[in-house]
Structure 1
């Protein structure tokens, strides 16, 4: 099916600005409101993959919206989808706490809500049919294991010092990936010191500045953990510019820039997560819920470890 964009001409339809419609006209009408498509290549690829999956399913008509990182806009989009009486709503939350009233409203209207990629806060779970996405705590935990294993290989597991660059404050994915790392690192490497954590807001340039400040503040940094490779490569760029060699860089979502840095031997490891799998899983979960199939509340897809040692087993990310 073809894809068409709808432009809003009034405040009443502002929530639909830039909406995309994909798929067929039978079966189910499914709306999705995304977090912030333009912020990084992962979300851009996710949207393209979601549209492709909807277009490939003749039983699905999808209304594809983007909140642009704006909580108020996402809430307005939720309310508009409720008014449209869509069969299901998929939400990639801009804020796991703030969207709960809108999710509750959809639930009360009898519309199942599927949360994708980053979960809402636990107090909203009663209003959600299923979460589809990665287990972010496990990702952070696996990143800690990657780093610890490398320190042990280097023989510095009893003295290494680590800094952390986290994602956007208040964002569930950032919170969970940090928690997974913070909890697991002392379990596997109890003598490694996590000296400081600062947010990089998923932004490479900001993360580079954060790392520049770390390098000035600390003479001895052995490892850097970043909530994704986009931020991790920003930190790597800062270290290279400062001539600080020998630092182990580990991320929690493998981007193409991280994969390329791994190929060059500059970046040790990350977690392999596909936005294509993420998008397709969200749509499939919504359809399964509507078809009355048994769907787990936490519907995770696997995100394995990737390092310089095993990267040949994985294709370069497309984002």
Structure 2
């Protein structure tokens, strides 16, 4: 009798296990602005590949094109579709909160990817998956301190105004700079919206305005290389230290050439895979941390060989 009961229990457990293994999920993602840079383009491809490898994940991939209203509409559409989970790369960390709250009320877990939302919306999300942008800014400040031996005059080229990633990187950089090397003066900050051509124009204006610029901190390498190009055209690149974040291929190559001091290594492939896995972990009932940060180390000429050249 015990044998039959144990056998029946084993069969039931096996059947349950197979059912769980075969369970499929429908996950929607609304991205910030795929066309703005190669990081987001690579992220999208990596996300689609990761979902395909899972075998049991059906995805709905949407792009807000940098438009908050469009992203809110996409969130509402995914809620109407009754997807199992929503991943959002927020266009604006404050404005998307009502749509996230709506998903939460509908019983759909939301995972925020790459860029955090405002604190007021954190209670409505299942988890955040992405880099610690404040720490990235702090790490860039430490590299600036090292490169300038704690003294100098610098400018900052920030990302998109109002965008959480841009604000956090600037915050981390400025706070750590003031703490670690008060002898370095940040004379001005201007945004360039993650765009290389805009960053080049911003840097051209800085070069006209300031006779002495010892360093440039850019919120990502796309903008950092735009600033580098402006300085090279003005024949002033040799006198300036360039430090960025989110190491793009162009930044990696500039470090190789000795024209760019350092950056923060961040993979869009890791970013996309982590977001999808976080959503799947939430759906499977695992205990998922509220803040899921992945590592983003400093990268300079000293350790460049330890990292693969980015594909974006």
TM over 0.5: yes
Q: Could you say which residue in structure 2 is the equivalent of 1:295?
A: 288
The total of aligned residue pairs comes to 291
Deviations 1:205-244 (A, max 9, x none): 0000100010011111000000000000000000000011
Q: Could you say which residue in structure 1 is the equivalent of 2:200?
A: 208
Among 53, 56, 80, the alignment partner of 2:77 is 80
Q: State the SS of the aligned residue for 1:317.
A: coil
Q: State the SS of the aligned residue for 2:54.
A: coil
Deviations 1:65-85 (A, max 9, x none): 111111111111100100111
Deviation at 1:188, TM superposition (A): 1.2
Q: Could you say which residue in structure 1 is the equivalent of 2:6?
A: none
Q: Could you say which residue in structure 2 is the equivalent of 1:265?
A: 258
Q: Contact (CA 8 Å) 1:89, 1:111: kept in 2 or not? A: yes
Q: Contact (CA 8 Å) 1:226, 1:250: kept in 2 or not? A: yes
Among 167, 170, 181, the alignment partner of 2:173 is 181
Structure 1 alignment gaps of length 5 or more = 1-24
Among 88, 96, 99, the alignment partner of 1:99 is 96
- Residues 1-319 of structure 1 mapped to structure 2, 5 A cutoff: 26-152=23-149, 157-158=150-151, 160-244=152-236, 245-319=238-312
Distance 2:99 2:178 in 1: 39
Q: State the SS of the aligned residue for 2:286.
A: coil
**Structure that is richer in helix per residue:** 2
Q: Which runs of 4+ in 1 moved over 2 A?
A: none
Distance 2:178 2:86 in 1: 39
Q: Contact (CA 8 Å) 1:26, 1:61: kept in 2 or not? A: no
Structure 2 alignment gaps of length 5 or more = 1-21
Structure with the greater alpha carbon radius of gyration: 2
Distance 1:291 1:118 in 2: 24
What's the TM-score once normalised by structure 2's chain length? 0.92
Q: Contact (CA 8 Å) 1:250, 1:268: kept in 2 or not? A: yes
Deviation at 1:26, TM superposition (A): 4.5
Deviations 1:160-191 (A, max 9, x none): 00100000000000000000000000111111
What's the TM-score once normalised by structure 1's chain length? 0.90
